[in-house]
Structures are given as C-alpha cells and as structure tokens.
C-alpha cells in the first residue's frame, strides 16, 4: 500500500449524518494519505455508533435493571476508540485553520505495565 495523497473522496457508503459530517469536515480541510483515509473511515463509523448509542441512552436512561446500561459501557469504549483514531490521524486543533500544520507523527499511547524491580 502506498502513502500517496489522494483527492477528497465522497463519504463511504453506509455512513449516517454524524459520520458524514466528520468525514466532510476533515476531507475538505486536509489532504489525506491512504493511511489517514482508512483511519478517518473508521472514525466516521465509530462516530455513527456513538450517535446510535446516545439515542438509546436518551430514550432508556443510563441505568438498566439497577445496573449501568450496557449502551453506556459500550459508548465509553467507543469514545476511547474514537479518541485514539483521531490522535493517530494527527488532526490539527482547528480544522478551519489547517495552515498551522499537523502535529508530529507519534504512536498512540498504550497501556502501561507495572515496573518490576
């Protein structure tokens, strides 16, 4: 797979409103290589999942049968996933002014093990 910069692409099929909004905001502001397009595609899908989970939680509330609603647990996991995808893309803080450049390419922060002495 090459890392060539691709022209802005139409949103992938199957995206809903929030996913399309994220997709269009990023591709109109930045030139993306294939790696970033793949990350953006998944970030847009996760955004749609979060929107669906939010709708469930607004309807049913954060508690179910005396416990935390499973949709709330999943939403928290999807939020972590989305944050990692966006960090991996190195998006500028303000997409309306991408001329400031993108942050340095660094790996996403993973989990740390305890130090053995």
Query: pLDDT tens digits for 25-48?
Result: 999 888 888 999 999 999 999 999
- Would 104 be classed as within a structural domain? no
pLDDT at res. 112: 46
Residue 28 belongs to domain spanning? 14-90
- Would 96 be classed as within a structural domain? no
pLDDT digits (tens, 9 = 90+) for 93-116: 777 775 555 554 555 545 444 556
- Would 95 be classed as within a structural domain? no
- Would 105 be classed as within a structural domain? no
- Would 20 be classed as within a structural domain? yes
- Would 113 be classed as within a structural domain? no
pLDDT at res. 52: 98
92 confidence band (pLDDT: 50, 70, 90): confident
The rounded distance, in Å, linking the Cα atoms of 47 and 37 is 15
- Would 3 be classed as within a structural domain? no
pLDDT at 80 > cutoff 90: yes
- Would 39 be classed as within a structural domain? yes
**How many domains does the chain fold into?**
1
> pTM, whole model, 2 decimals?
0.77
């Amino acid at each position: 797979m090459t890392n060539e910069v691709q022209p802005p692409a139409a949103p992938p099929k199957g995206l809903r409103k929030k996913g399309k909004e994220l997709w269009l905001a990023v591709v109109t502001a930045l030139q993306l290589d294939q790696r970033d397009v793949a990350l953006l595609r998944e970030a847009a899908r996760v955004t749609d999942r979060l929107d669906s989970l939010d709708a469930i939680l607004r309807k049913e509330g954060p508690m179910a049968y005396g416990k935390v609603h499973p949709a709330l647990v999943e939403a928290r996991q999807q939020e972590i996933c989305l944050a990692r995808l966006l960090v991996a893309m190195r998006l500028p803080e303000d997409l309306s002014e991408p001329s400031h450049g993108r942050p340095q390419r660094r790996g996403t922060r993973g989990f740390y093990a305890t130090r053995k002495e």
